[in-house]
Structure 1
């Protein structure tokens, strides 16, 4: 019998809408899915080309002190503009795909789908044009810095922002650039020399006041691009520092010592942090509180943090003990910065060693680093700081610990963002002081985060260290082999790593957490098999092409992050590769692949996170296993899963073809998966599952789900929670 195409249309309205689609319009609608896929592929190639050009420009600017050509800068700016539009299209694509009907030949809203399809086609042409213009013979030419005295009329331009000690010049340039309109991403990627020239051209024509807060060493204003103030130009530079020597190095004309708070001011600040309820809880507490405030030395940060620590100490005995500790700190820590011992009281007042370890851990992050709460908790889980919970319970405890540190003023919320925190630089310094000096035997940190290192510290500096952070540097190669059997944590993220010598990991048998993310690594050394204690491995935003078979040796691995490893995803797709290198590991996997093959490799899987996979149609497709298909169909790869999160998977149609039991499942979260119409849940488990169980998702998605029967739908209805 020949192929028969049969369409049943109910109602005149649908038919009328379809007839309204003219031939010209239907072409855009019919080709929408394919065009979106092509756009994503071509845009990714354009970004790769942009990165190559940017590298050439940076080499020319940094090493040869040349200036990028205007045509190159213009091309980079156009790429940035098109990129913004393409990302908006991708963001809106799931909604438009959901409108398609009749096998993609028509739409429930022809006008909207036509406009969107036309927009996709236009951007595809724009991307193709930019790709064709990428082959520049030269990217830069000669550069001359006009360092000469300027004259003319000036106007005030901007005031203060905080400056960190790490990479001061770059940060000052970017802070000033933001205030005077030089804040694009392309400008930020320019060399220090080129940015200095831009700033000089603008500031030399203006009258300005520049305020630098908390500088630790001399700032070379010439390298920043700032004209030195003098009586003729009328500009001013004001700075604060903790070290009087810096005043001389900066050639300050005048300097003033900022005195501590007056007694009354100090007491008022301390009292506001403790609270009236505590101060009035017992007749003896008020006088004891005044003594504690005095022991804080009129230092605002000490008054705030210690005041918070005492807010719930409602017996005189607790206050007397606090006084003893603070008095003893003066003799225990002679010569140290006077604020650290007083701040350490807040650290000592934390409820237990687990919270204290979590706090010290935050000092491994670079100064002023803003971190997602969830990412921080992932690291704490990998380190074993939290109780032996798994999944949601561990995360809940992590959020509880973050709340404790926020209430104690040892972490700060990031203004306007709910899920991110940072650490005040003074608190971070105090934490490093505790880890490296006070509790050296127990902790012993080596931290050079954000120090602009081009080479890793010499191997002999690694000996005996327990935690090392070299994040946010410019390290390209790890050629030395350190001996560090006590090492538990190693942050190498956000560097320029291209090569790790094969024996680099040979004496790191205790290592629990390794972060290699945001590096141009294309492969891992086989010696990674030596990391037999590793629990958390972050390879996100690398250029890995495949996972080495040696990962099978990492039998304690709990979390493997492969987010944004696009080269790996493409390699796996092109070569029909598998992830069976992971048979016995417990992992959280985040990757961009089309489907997960060899599901028996995930029989210890505890958490499954899949996001931003625009090609993935099925999570586990047992039809790919040929002769073992029947066996695979009877296995349950999710038997130990307690948390499942699927988000931004516009082509996902299936998780698993059979209904499965999830005996330990606590949460399933589905977000922006418009084509996923069935979830493989065995209704009997919903009744017998003793664990907390919830399904989260969009109400519209839930209402469109297809069920085996109404009884099954009714069983799961009480467990659904809308995210709307």
Structure 2
């Protein structure tokens, strides 16, 4: 898949591995300096030069992947496995070139996109030349998407002109020329309004070139404005699925610390109103509570407005379900 990394390659393990590579690189460079002082010229051997070059490239790429969030571990949320499967089935239909996921903030759209990229697209790597993930930054979405694409295509590492303050239209030419003859998948996360794919430099996805664009948005109207061939709503979890997700987050061990804790936990989970982000944030906080007093205090103090505040602090945006229903 042109370098897309499967979530099976655990991000933490990859960080450890690249740390080891950096250590070897540093050790070799130190030896080269000593050998150069002794006039042995180890650093001039072609195999040494090649290894150092490849090591530097690998280190740079992994650091970039981690910085861009492309190695995020995105296990499917309980109750959304079916949603992921249906979304994947729609995306892979021949007539679907542009596909949109929509739903309120914190409902799990990003998790589904990550699973599509890390687990589904990874398994059909031979069908596409490249997969590009572009988190959309508001304010100037066109520029942020162009920069993500440029990073994925290597422009920011190998093209001096690209690194300069290039005009949008010229960046678009670069991108178009690079993708024109490739079968690509473009994944856009958190699209607040319509973006012009042509202005960005994206060749139009067609049935003939078999390219695809998939995006996540809060608004069904954005799906229409983007000309989506298909779209799908991502909703909140059912009460049973919400409880299952919350239970796994706080762990069975913590729930069994006292016979009263399970009932208290069910009440706290209910107040999260089926929103995965709220269940994750609150569950992460309650994971540290191992006695019944902590759970009782949480039930007494954890109002819907407090949960909303916690979610906003993590998510950075208003959570509609709480804002509408309080």
Question: Where on the TM-score scale, by shorter chain, does this alignment land: which range?
Answer: 0.5 to 0.7
Aligned twin of 1:208: 184
1:501-520 alignment, distance < 5 Å = none
Deviates further, 275-284 or 227-236: 227-236
1:94: Cα distance to partner?
10
Aligned twin of 1:429: 317
In structure 2, relative to structure 1, the CA distance for the partners of 1:114 and 1:271 (3 Å cut) is: closer
In structure 2, relative to structure 1, the CA distance for the partners of 1:238 and 1:111 (3 Å cut) is: closer
Match status 1:344 vs 2:273 = no
Distance 2:194 2:311 in 1: 32
Match status 1:194 vs 2:170 = yes
In structure 2, relative to structure 1, the CA distance for the partners of 1:311 and 1:201 (3 Å cut) is: same
Of 204, 209, 214, 1:228 maps to: 204
1:44-59 alignment, distance < 5 Å = none
1:181: Cα distance to partner?
4.8
Distance 1:272 1:179 in 2: 35
1:306: Cα distance to partner?
0.6
Match status 1:279 vs 2:279 = no
What's the secondary structure of 1:215's corresponding residue? coil
In structure 2, relative to structure 1, the CA distance for the partners of 1:346 and 1:228 (3 Å cut) is: closer
2:185·2:213 contact (CA, 8 Å) conserved in 1?
Answer: yes
Q: Which has the higher helix share?
A: 2
Distance 1:224 1:346 in 2: 32
Distance 1:224 1:188 in 2: 17
Distance 1:244 1:342 in 2: 26
Match status 1:291 vs 2:291 = no
Aligned twin of 2:147: 174
Of 224, 228, 231, 1:255 maps to: 231
Let me know the Cα RMSD of the aligned residues. 3.7
What's the secondary structure of 1:158's corresponding residue? strand
1:325·1:345 contact (CA, 8 Å) conserved in 2?
Answer: no
In structure 2, relative to structure 1, the CA distance for the partners of 1:114 and 1:275 (3 Å cut) is: closer
Aligned twin of 2:104: none
Distance 2:150 2:211 in 1: 17
Distance 1:94 1:238 in 2: 49
Larger Cα-atom Rg: 1
1:270: Cα distance to partner?
1.3
1:159·1:211 contact (CA, 8 Å) conserved in 2?
Answer: yes
Kindly tell me the number of residue pairs found equivalent between the two proteins: 209
1:547-558 alignment, distance < 5 Å = none
1:309·1:346 contact (CA, 8 Å) conserved in 2?
Answer: no
| Stretches (4+) displaced over 6 A | 113-116
Distance 2:311 2:43 in 1: 61
In structure 2, relative to structure 1, the CA distance for the partners of 1:226 and 1:290 (3 Å cut) is: same
Aligned twin of 1:322: 298
1:136-151 alignment, distance < 5 Å = none
1:226: Cα distance to partner?
1.2
Q: C-alpha offsets along residues 366-386 of structure 1, whole Å, 9 cap, x if unaligned? A: xxxxxxxxxxxxxxxxxxxxx
What's the secondary structure of 1:202's corresponding residue? helix
2:188·2:216 contact (CA, 8 Å) conserved in 1?
Answer: yes
Aligned twin of 2:39: 110
2:35·2:41 contact (CA, 8 Å) conserved in 1?
Answer: no
1:159: Cα distance to partner?
4.8
Q: C-alpha offsets along residues 144-180 of structure 1, whole Å, 9 cap, x if unaligned? A: xxxxxxxxxx965325343332432223223333444
1:165·1:217 contact (CA, 8 Å) conserved in 2?
Answer: no
Distance 2:44 2:176 in 1: 46
Distance 1:206 1:346 in 2: 40
Distance 1:262 1:323 in 2: 21
Q: TM-score scaled to structure 1, two decimals? A: 0.26
Q: Which structure ranks higher in relative contact order (CA pairs < 8 Å, sequence separation ≥ 6)?
A: 2
Distance 1:230 1:243 in 2: 24
1:156·1:208 contact (CA, 8 Å) conserved in 2?
Answer: yes
Of 195, 202, 217, 1:219 maps to: 195
1:113: Cα distance to partner?
9.6
1:306·1:343 contact (CA, 8 Å) conserved in 2?
Answer: no
2:135·2:190 contact (CA, 8 Å) conserved in 1?
Answer: yes
